[in-house]
Amino acid sequence: MSREMSGWMSVSDEAGSPLVLFHKALQVYRVNWLRAKVWMDRWQEEVTLVQNETRWMQLWLVYHRNIWEGRAKGHACMLGSRCGCGNNGK
């Protein structure tokens, strides 16, 4: 009895056949390689996401720092402090 493998190669079903053992081992290596590739791709995507999230957070914090610095400067002007803007409480 024979079967088709890879669409072009027929292999006997003898369990001890070196060719059958080779193909079984090759299938195991293919599966392990695919699992490792998927794992690596997921981690590369995770690294990219974390890097972008870190950058976005830094930009968000700088944006809000600028807002609060502007508010603090405006508050100093309202109190008549010398902030250098020339308003002096007006």
Delimit the domains of the chain by residue range: 30-81
Q: pLDDT tens per residue, the chain (90 residues)?
A: 455 555 445 555 566 788 888 888 888 888 888 899 999 999 999 999 999 999 999 999 999 999 999 888 877 666 665 556 665 545
Phi, psi at 26, each rounded to 5°: -65, -40
Entry pTM? 0.51
Instruction: Please tell me the distance from the alpha carbon of residue 35 to that of residue 38, in angstroms, as a whole number.
Output: 5
